Amino acid sequence: MNFRRLTQFRFRYVIFLLLPFGFQLLLEPLAGALNQKKSIPDEESIEIATIQAYISEIRPSLSSESLQKLSQVILQESRRLNIESCNFRCSDTDKVSLLIGLIHLESQFKATARSPKNARGFMQIMPTTANWISQKEGWKINLSDLHKPEVNIHLGVSYLNYLLDLRKGDTAKALLSYNAGPSAVDRWGWDPGIQRNHSFQPIPLFGTKRKNCQFHSINSRSLLL
């Protein structure tokens, strides 16, 4: 197979093994600021505030209403991620980190993002994929719905869960399949030639509560072993 031809399309492969440290750096000042108001914020409020702070750095033009809604949807939908079979303990914070990092990489948190291949919205869902997933879940959607966070991210998580099941819980292969398509990944057969012609980008995850965790991007040589 001529892998050089595939380089004409911008594959943004994303893989993770362990999630990064750093959540504490964001969490502590936010929690401190909230506590100064003489209230004890619950964990969910802190998580939403942390997500908002992260997204604001990337897309400061978002209105407060849009930012609040997007952050709530990300937190809610992250709990649906089926990554319990990965090779380390997957906490709720890990799931939030994965989802927010994937959205960052796919769309930079832009609701109207649209790729040359017609992938749309926060998680860059193809219309055909969106229709297939929505039919499985008994939804009726229009193309314009793919720019709504509650629709786009829900369908994106459902599709990623499908790929996780397809790849028997292998998160790395599922993420490759999410970005490039499962058929393309099957055609490659994990051929080492991919390494010479494609680059792998790490998910820009925003951290985890657990200390001493590290983030590693994986190049194709590591993946293919």
Instruction: Give the domain ranges of the chain.
Output: 3-224
Q: Is the pTM value of this prediction over 0.85?
A: no
Token digits for 104? Answer: 């960052």
Q: What is the pLDDT along the chain (225 residues), one digit of tens a residue?
A: 443 443 333 344 433 333 333 444 444 455 455 455 445 458 889 889 999 999 999 999 999 999 999 999 999 999 999 986 444 445 555 789 889 989 999 999 999 999 999 999 999 999 999 999 999 999 999 999 999 999 999 999 999 999 999 998 888 888 888 988 898 888 877 554 554 444 445 555 444 333 333 333 333 322 322
CA distances to 41, 76, 99, 145, 165 from 220, rounded to whole Å, are 43, 32, 22, 35, 22
Q: Which CATH topology does 3-224 take?
A: Lysozyme (1.10.530)
Angle among Cα 126, 96, 98 to the nearest 5 degrees reads 55
